[in-house]
Amino acid sequence: MSCEKGAGASVLKRGFTAFDTPRPPTADEWEQQKPRLRATLRRLLGDLPPLFVPKVEILKKEKFEGFTRESLVFDNGVGDTVYGYLLIPHDLQSRGPAVLYHHYHGNAYNQGKEELFLPAFTGMGNRSLVTGPELVRAGYIVFCIDAYCFGPRHFQGPAGEREEGALTEAALAKTFLWEGRTLWGMIVRDDMLALRYLLTRPEVDPDRVAALGMSMGATRSWWLAALEQQIKVVVSVACLTRYQDLIRTGDVNEHGVYYFVPGMLREKIDMESVIGLIAPRPLLTLTGAQDRGSPAAGVRIINAFQEHLYSLYGKAENFRGVLYPHVGHEFTPEMWRETLLWLQKHL
């Protein structure tokens, strides 16, 4: 049973009828589709509060080898406090490139932004390598915030400190639905607020901002870039998930409740379309073929759709999608090298 382009409609589990995403014949036609698609996605994410440039309080400045780390907080406009780290290289001579780094999930609710300073990924090989200082050494300003339910926010649900982690996540998902919102929409909205703040920093070149992440962090990166054109470069590692293929393989539960957006498939929108909103900006996708959360058949469809779009724009060099055989849900040393090379080339 296939959802490949040209295979025609097929019936997935529970009578759901699969669909193919039509490939636009020209770049102009895709550009005409983009505003309508973005508007639909914003509607499906829920009745989200207005966006603004948050007023940030810097709690602490700490000197590390090669950079200063600012610990900061801001109110996201609905009474929730967002915590973040901003890493600024010591040798910065003028406005520089920045990476908006999105931490992963992994049920590591206490971790969040601390990922920047931990050997967080399995399969990384060199256990002394940590992503935050490594990105700073490569010349980037780095900004990372705690998503809902992570870091100091793992108590930030209706029950307060009586519940934490997964219970906070479940309670927030339910509460936001009552409010006409989605947990995923609110997570992405916080990332939008973080981007707006980052663009105001005098150290940052606003034309050189990338989004990067693994797993949930990857998904946060390409959703943000799809909706916010100020993101100029994207790296997605270990999460390139096509909804229809998750249904087909029966692996829907490889993702937590935070991930789901009502009405996507009813609107005939799958992830190749969402990710396609990034074109023709530089996009790198790195995925393990054995990752059950990103079924390989769906990864191939998503990557092929991007290859088509980027060729329409005459920017084939701005897209690279790699599917690694014998690799699962991992951020491997080879993936890390690809990440740094992509940022060096395009940012």
For residues 242 and 132, is the Cβ–Cβ distance under 8 A? Answer: no
- pTM of the model as a whole: 0.94
The amino acid occupying position 127 is: R
CA dihedral 31, 223, 121, 60 (to 10 degrees): 120
CA geometry: angle at 59 spanning 56 and 63, to 5°? 115
CA dist., res. 76 & res. 20, Å (int): 38
Per-residue confidence band for 16, with pLDDT thresholds at 50, 70 and 90: confident
CATH of domain 13-346: 3.40.50.1820
State residue 12's pLDDT score. 59
Tens digits of residue pLDDT in 110-141: 999 999 999 866 555 555 678 999 999 999 99
Per-residue confidence band for 14, with pLDDT thresholds at 50, 70 and 90: low
Domain coordinates of the chain in residue numbers?
13-346
